[in-house]
Structure formats: C-alpha cells, structure tokens
Structure 1
Amino acid sequence: MADPTTLSVSDLNRQARLMLERGFGDCWVEGEVSGLAKPASGHCYFTLKDDRAQVRCALFRTRARFAAPFANGDHIRVRGRVSVFEPRGDYQLIVEAVQPAGQGALLAAFERLKHQLSAEGVFVNARPLPYPPRHLALITSATGAAVRDVLAVLAARWPLVDVTLLPVPVQGREAVPAIIRAIALANNEQRFDTLLITRGGGSLEDLWAFNDEHLARAIFHSRLPVMSAVGHEVDVTLADFAADVRAPTPSAAAEQLVPDRRELMRRLSDARQRLVRVERLRLDQELQRLDYLRARLRHPGERLARQRQHLAQLEARLQRAMQQRLAQARQRQEMARRSLTRFDPAQQIAESRRRLEQASRRLNSALPRRLEVERNRLNALMRELNAVSPLAVLGRGYAIIENSEGSVVKRAEDTRPGERLSARLAQGRLSVEVKRRHKR
C-alpha cells in the first residue's frame, strides 16, 4: 500500500501550478526576447531573459492577435500570470499583454507634459482654417509616405491650391529644432495662409518628437492656423492638441483642407439643372399670363365697330318707324277715299281734304322733330365715341412718346439723356431729344 504522504508527479505539478497562480496573480515582467517561435497554431512561445536569469513565456493565439509586434532581441514588458506546464513540469509565464519596454515612462512623461501645457493654455487654439487655402506650407519629411499621400490627395481633389514643401526630419534629435525653424520660416512668409504638420505612423518612440513642449508652444504661437496630422488614427501627440485642427491621418488632413472638385462640379450641375427647370416654369407662367392679358385686351377699332353697328341698327329702326307711319297714313287716306264714295261727294271731299291737310301738317311737323331727336341721339353717341378715342386725347394737347424701337415710353426712368424720341401729336409728329430726367 502506498504511503499517503507520497505525491505523484502529476499531483506535484498540479499543486505547484495552483500555488504559483494563487500566490503571484497578474504581474509585469521586463526583459529581452529570445527563442521566439510562432507555430501554425497562432500561439507564440519565447524566452524572456535578463543578464542573470530567464523564464519561458507562452502567448496564446487569442491574445497574440492584439499584442504589439516584437522580435528576438527586443526589450519588452509583458503582463501575465505565473504557471506550470504540468506534462513537463516547466515553470512558465502565461502572457496576456505585450508592450515595448520604456513605453510606460514615455506615457507618464506625455501625461505630465499634457497637463502642464493644458494648464498654460497652449491647447486653446481653434482658429478656422481658410477653405480652401490659397498657399499651403507642408512641413514633413521629403522622403516619407506622408508627403506623397498629401500631394496625391490635393492633386486629385483641388489642384488649384499652391503647396510648398518645407522638408524636415520627423524623428530623432534634429526633428524638433528643424520643425520649429520651419514654422518660424512659414510665419515670416506672407505668401502662406495655412500650415500642415504631418508624418506617417510609428511607435510611441518614433512619434516622440511631436510631444516636445517647445514644439507645442511654437504651434500655439504660430500666426498662421495650423493643422496637425501625426501618425495613424489611434496616435495622439501634443502637437495635435496645440494645433487649431487635428486630422487622423495625412490623407485625411488633405481631404479636410480642400473640397472635392468632382463633388462641386456635380453640385454645380444639379444647381444648373434646377435653375433651368425654374426658368422654364417661370417662362411658361409668364406666357400664360401674356395670353390671358392679350385675350382681355380690346383694340379701339373693335369698340368703334360695335358703335357703328349700334348706330346702323338705330337708323334701320328709324326707317322702319317712318315707313310704318307713312303706311298708316296711306291706309287712313284709303279709308277716307272709300268713305267719300258713300257720302256727298262735295262735302265729303271738302271734309276729307280738310282732315287730309291737318294730317299732312301734323305729319310734316312731327317728322322733322322726330328726325331732330334721332339726330341728337346720334350726335351724342358720336361724341361719346370720340371721347374714348386716343385721337381725341391727342386733340386736347397730349402727345404719345415713342422710343426708337416704336415702344411707348411711360416712365422717365425708361429713357436716358441724349436719347432720341418721337412725339406723336394730333396732327403730325415731333423728333425730340432727352436732356434730363425728372422723377416728378
């Protein structure tokens, strides 16, 4: 029977693993990478060492996808938990996160400078940039990808902008003084109206020049508005905070600085089409209004024709009345003649002659009066007709003023000094020249 105090190898390794995992928990370890292996499984296995010791590390696939890249010889910091690989009894570190060594100190310095410069008011710039700029000063490396990206986007979107490259190193000891000198040079030039400070992505150490407090102050004191586009979207530097506008990438900065000419041309085409539609609609409305006014307009000749027709009707009625009365008189005369044959001829003749004479006198006296009444009515109608005639207005001393195109001039402001006009009078025309215009 086995001794109850004796442990199997499996039990020993398991208890050792539990004791290490419970005793240490998560911890940060710093050292140099060696023996890096990346099998097809996606896991990473490596050794972390210093000048006196080493420890095996395992970075499993689910964590390796999000870890910062590293290689043999890199000095890194890892966060993980101490454990034991039970089948072999190997003591190892299960890694959860990886970052370059020294980044923590840089981040602490970044936060300290950020707080200091914010308290000084260096991050309050928010001046609007000219849109689009006339002349852009581009401060970046002459050989980097950022300058190619910016120039390509500007050429595609808005080739009218002038761009002057002020080449500077964007990392290393010479970067900060070179960028500050470029900012001062651009501010002394009257031709520039916008500054763009940019570079491509990189590690925190690569971008550290743009976290310099002197550079941040130079950007803050710049006379010209400044756009900063340093690194990729996740990278943020003190230069970004000090600038008036920040862009996530160099290409995005170029897109924010200038409009897209293709989009403007499309919008211009849409506006032109809308304008054409509006003008066509307005023209149709005006043509309809003109047709309506033309239908309402009546020429004076038409009114004269109606008056002539009415006069002819009155004359015809007068003629019919006269003929009717003559017919009635003849009828009475015929009745008298017949009666004459039934009575004493001499007496009846004498009486009839007397009545005939009376009737003739009444007829002769009534006819001129009737003719006079109708003639007066006719004259009244003719006077009324003449009153509405444009020629009657001219007869009272008025004139119709026409320009060289034959259009009637209604307002003084429709003429200009020196213009030759024609004045139509009741009899004849006058050629006149405009000397001065008066509103009243």
Structure 2
Amino acid sequence: MHSPDHPTTPPRNVLTPSMLNRLVRGLLEDALPLVWIEGELCNVSRPASGHLYFTLKDAGAQVRAAMFKPKSGWLRFKPADGMHVLVRARVGLYEPRGEFQLVAEHMELAGEGVLRRQFEQLKARLDAEGLFEASRKRPLPRYARRIGVITSATGAAIRDVLSVLRRRWPLVEVEVLPVPVQGREAPPAIVAMLRKASAAARHDVLLLTRGGGSLEDLMAFNDEAVARAVHASAIPVVSAVGHEIDFSIADFAADLRAATPSAAAELLVPDAQALRRHLEQGLQRLRLLQSRRLQSQTQRVDHLLARLQAQRPQARLARDRERLAALQRRLHAALHERLRLHAHRLDRLHARLLAQHPRQRLLLLQRRLAERERSLRQCMNHRIDRAQLTLRHSARALQAVSPLATLERGYAIVFDRDGHVLRDARQAPAGTPLRARLAEGELSLRVTDEP
C-alpha cells in the first residue's frame, strides 16, 4: 500500500486543456454535424468585422452562437433581441475559452420556414400539373394601348410603374385595378379582379405587382387560387412581385416575370426616345433610297427622251428625203452613163457606116438604132416610174406620222415664247404669252386666270 503522504504515479495519457477542448469539439461536430434550432434572440451584436454574434434561448436554457461573413450579410432581415428565429447551425466548441457554441449557416424568422415549405410543395404540385410550362407562355403585345395594373392603389409599386410608363411611352393608357395585396382578403380579391379583367377584355396586357416584403407579406401571391386565375386569364399577365430576389407562385404561372415593378413597366412598353431615333434613321435611309431611285429614273427618262428626239417624224422625214435624193442622183448618173455608152456605140456604128457606104446596111443600122433608142427610153421611163412610186409611198408613210397631219384634223401645237412645245398647263401661269400653230397659220395667245 502507498502511504497517503506520497503522491501516486501519474498516468501516461495526460491531456492538456487545449487537447481536451479539441477532443470535445471533434466529438460534438461528428455527433451533431448540422441541426435546426428554434429559439429567441438575445444579446445580438454586429461588430465592425461584419460577423454576427447572438444568444439563442428558450424558457429553460440558452446557447451562444455566431454567424460569420459573408453569410451574415445574406440575411433578408435585421436580427434584433426578442425575435423568434429558426437557425440551421453546426454544433461546436470555442477552443480558446472552452465554451459550447453554435456556428450558424442560415437564419430565418420562425414562421417563415413553414411558409417556405408550403411554397415549395405548392410550386412542385402546380409544376407537375403543367401550369408553369414555357410552351404556354404568350408573347406580350409590342405596342400595348391599354394596360391594367392589378395592385394596391396606395402602394409604392403603382407610383414606380406609372413613373416609368409616363417617361418611356406616354401614349399608353393605364388603368389601375385596385386590390389589397396583403392579408387574408387579398387572394380572393386578386382572383376576382383577374377574372373580371379577363372577361371584360379591355386591356392588351395585365400587370400583377406589389412592392417588396417578407415571405409572409408576399403570401397573397403564393396562393393556389391566384396562380390558377393567372394561368386561366385570357389576357397575357406579367407578374412583378417583391424585389429582384423574390419569387412567387404567381411569377411562375404568369406569361412573364419581372424582377421589380419598374422593370415590368420597362418590359411592357418601348422606349419612345429609342423608337424615335430608330424611325429617324429609317427615314434617312428611305430618303437616300428615294433620291437614288429618282436619280436613276431621271437618267432613264433623259435617255428615252434622246431616243425619242432621234426617232421623231421630222428627223425620219429628213433622213428619207436625203435617201431619196441620193437614189435620184444615182439613177440620173446611171442613165447618163448608159446614154453616154450608147452614144459612143452609135458614133462607132456611124463611123463604120460611113466607112462602108452600103445603103441597105445603113437603113438596117438606123432601124436597130431606133429600136435601141426606144428600148433605152422605155427602160428609163420604167426606172423613173419605180422611183416615183417609192417616193410617193415614203411621202404617205411620213404624212401618216407627221404632226402636220394631226393639225389637219383640228388640233394645234402650243409653243412658249422660247419656241418650246408646251406639254403641261402648269408651265404657263396667268399672263404668259403663247403661240399656237394650226394646220394653216399661227395664233398668238395669252393665258388668263379665268376657268
């Protein structure tokens, strides 16, 4: 036996406080990796570091807790003493002081967790029924003439919507369809207004909206009846409920979801200034195209006018006259040459006759000469007749297209003081002197302003 005055031999496995705390911390984290705890907040503090420190308590106990950045900055509400919250946390031990604590990963108001689960269950059920299918989403009208806004008539959302609509598209007609957006009376009122607006068919599009708030504040838009009324609406529905991070069942059932009421207003109407710039650019392109087209047509008209001037009756008559004169000159030259050749032959025959002096031969040659002379004259007369016939045909053809023939039928050609033909009455204002050519003679005229 050991004497009580002598110390016992110490054990081999001796723990230090650090080792003990580390061992306990490991045991706690392994046994309880993640837990949900509901309780009341107290001793809430947020130092300059941005971390959140608080105590979670109930009627019989309390436990210290901490929420570190950046998760503490993601909270949708400002924690304060006395709030009843639901916390998801890891159970641990703060080793330097050996204090039992919670390290919070998520925090929400105690009632919000139940509402969130109800939200997810309803969303899954309606999604399974096909209420959220993208194939049934209808496109919004490009230029809405009348918009129905289903919201509170006194809320901030309607002010934001009206401000954006007036700035972007003042032509649109906005009709506020007032309903309560919070409380038990809100869902049936929203359903009734949706059905009434759908049956009236007065609007091109409906906007269902309200400002931000907690999940409990937005529950009127997570109602099943509201979602089915949005889905059944005969008019396209845009949903803009809460802030950008908020989603409601009505958002999924609507034809389009907007992040905020102001964003919804921007989606519903075009920007008048941008549209004006687009129209001005289109007008400039149209004017440029019109100018180029007019220039091309003007060049074509000038070309056709030049061709017409080259083919007018006076020019054709002059060309035919020149051609006829050339044919006559050639004919006379050919006749003169043949006469010269025959005369030459006659001279040779006459010389031969003079050389031979036989009277019978002379008579024979004289007869042959007379026959040849008759034949030559007949040929000349025939050629002249053909030339004259051709000339008469050409004259009749020219007469048919000549403006003089038109004058013979009682028409007149009007010239201005410079001798240009007048084709448009607008070229001769009152008091303009004119000259009219008739079939026989000319008349001097002056334009009056009498009808």
Could you tell me how far apart the structure 2 residues matched to 1:368 and 1:356 are? Answer: 18
Could you tell me how far apart the structure 2 residues matched to 1:326 and 1:145 are? Answer: 120
The corresponding residue for 1:202 is 213
1:303 aligns with 2:311: no
- SS class of match (2:158): helix
Closer, same or farther in 2 for the Cα pair 1:374/1:217, shift >3 Å?
same
Counterpart contact for 2:67–2:105, Cα < 8 Å: yes
Q: Which moved more, 1:359-368 or 1:249-258?
A: 359-368
Q: Deviation at 1:93? A: 1.0
Could you tell me how far apart the structure 2 residues matched to 1:343 and 1:166 are? Answer: 139
Counterpart contact for 1:59–1:94, Cα < 8 Å: yes
Q: Among 265, 274, 281, which residue is 2:276 paired with?
A: 265
Listed as ranges, the gaps of 5+ residues in structure 2 are: 1-8, 413-420, 424-438, 441-451
TM-score, with normalisation over the residues of structure 2?
A: 0.73
The corresponding residue for 2:416 is none
Q: Deviation at 1:150? A: 1.2
The corresponding residue for 1:361 is 370
Q: Which moved more, 1:12-21 or 1:255-264?
A: 255-264
Number of paired residues? 400
Closer, same or farther in 2 for the Cα pair 1:301/1:3, shift >3 Å?
same
Q: Among 247, 252, 257, which residue is 1:236 paired with?
A: 247
Q: Which amino acid aligns with 1:305?
A: A
Q: Among 356, 380, 383, which residue is 1:374 paired with?
A: 383
Counterpart contact for 1:336–1:352, Cα < 8 Å: no
Q: Which amino acid aligns with 1:111?
A: E
Counterpart contact for 1:333–1:356, Cα < 8 Å: no
The corresponding residue for 1:14 is 22
Q: Which amino acid aligns with 2:160?
A: D
Could you tell me how far apart the structure 1 residues matched to 2:238 and 2:271 are? Answer: 18
The corresponding residue for 2:152 is 141
Q: Among 244, 253, 263, which residue is 1:252 paired with?
A: 263
1:70 aligns with 2:78: yes
Q: Which moved more, 1:322-331 or 1:295-304?
A: 322-331
The corresponding residue for 2:435 is none
1:53 aligns with 2:53: no
Closer, same or farther in 2 for the Cα pair 1:68/1:244, shift >3 Å?
closer
- SS class of match (2:213): coil
The corresponding residue for 1:416 is none
Q: Deviation at 1:148? A: 2.0
- SS class of match (1:61): coil
The corresponding residue for 1:417 is none
Q: Deviation at 1:55? A: 1.2
Q: Deviation at 1:3? A: 4.8
Q: Describe the superposition over 1:267-305 as per-residue Cα deviations: whole angstroms up to 9, x where unpaired.
A: 333433343344344444444544554555523433333
- SS class of match (2:89): strand
Counterpart contact for 2:45–2:52, Cα < 8 Å: yes
1:33 aligns with 2:13: no
Q: Which moved more, 1:141-150 or 1:120-129?
A: 120-129
Q: Which moved more, 1:4-13 or 1:142-151?
A: 4-13
Closer, same or farther in 2 for the Cα pair 1:354/1:311, shift >3 Å?
farther
Q: Deviation at 1:33? A: 1.9
Q: Deviation at 1:61? A: 1.9
Counterpart contact for 1:194–1:225, Cα < 8 Å: yes
Could you tell me how far apart the structure 2 residues matched to 1:22 and 1:308 are? Answer: 124
CA RMSD of aligned residues (A): 4.1
Closer, same or farther in 2 for the Cα pair 1:21/1:190, shift >3 Å?
closer
- SS class of match (2:88): strand
Listed as ranges, the gaps of 5+ residues in structure 1 are: 408-425, 428-440
Could you tell me how far apart the structure 2 residues matched to 1:123 and 1:319 are? Answer: 104
| Identity level (%) | 45
Could you tell me how far apart the structure 2 residues matched to 1:279 and 1:145 are? Answer: 50
TM-score, with normalisation over the residues of structure 1?
A: 0.75
Could you tell me how far apart the structure 2 residues matched to 1:184 and 1:326 are? Answer: 116
Q: Describe the superposition over 1:310-330 as per-residue Cα deviations: whole angstroms up to 9, x where unpaired.
A: 322232233334444555566
Counterpart contact for 1:29–1:77, Cα < 8 Å: yes
Q: Deviation at 1:82? A: 1.7
1:170 aligns with 2:148: no
Q: Among 221, 227, 230, which residue is 1:216 paired with?
A: 227
Q: Which amino acid aligns with 2:85?
A: I
Q: Spell out the pairing of 1:422-433 with structure 2 (5 A cutoff).
A: none
- SS class of match (1:311): helix
Closer, same or farther in 2 for the Cα pair 1:250/1:157, shift >3 Å?
same
1:315 aligns with 2:316: no
Could you tell me how far apart the structure 2 residues matched to 1:387 and 1:53 are? Answer: 131
The corresponding residue for 2:93 is 84
Could you tell me how far apart the structure 1 residues matched to 2:348 and 2:140 are? Answer: 119
Could you tell me how far apart the structure 2 residues matched to 1:320 and 1:181 are? Answer: 112
Closer, same or farther in 2 for the Cα pair 1:35/1:223, shift >3 Å?
same
Could you tell me how far apart the structure 1 residues matched to 2:17 and 2:325 are? Answer: 143
Q: Describe the superposition over 1:44-89 as per-residue Cα deviations: whole angstroms up to 9, x where unpaired.
A: 2221222222111122224323344432222222222222222211
Q: Which moved more, 1:179-188 or 1:7-16?
A: 179-188
Q: Which amino acid aligns with 1:160?
A: L
Q: Which amino acid aligns with 2:320?
A: Q
Q: Among 97, 106, 115, which residue is 1:97 paired with?
A: 106
Closer, same or farther in 2 for the Cα pair 1:325/1:5, shift >3 Å?
closer
Q: Among 287, 292, 310, which residue is 1:276 paired with?
A: 287
The corresponding residue for 1:421 is none
Q: Which moved more, 1:177-186 or 1:142-151?
A: 177-186
Could you tell me how far apart the structure 1 residues matched to 2:301 and 2:270 are? Answer: 45
Counterpart contact for 1:56–1:91, Cα < 8 Å: yes
Could you tell me how far apart the structure 2 residues matched to 1:78 and 1:364 are? Answer: 144
- SS class of match (1:262): helix
The corresponding residue for 1:43 is 51
Could you tell me how far apart the structure 2 residues matched to 1:391 and 1:379 are? Answer: 18
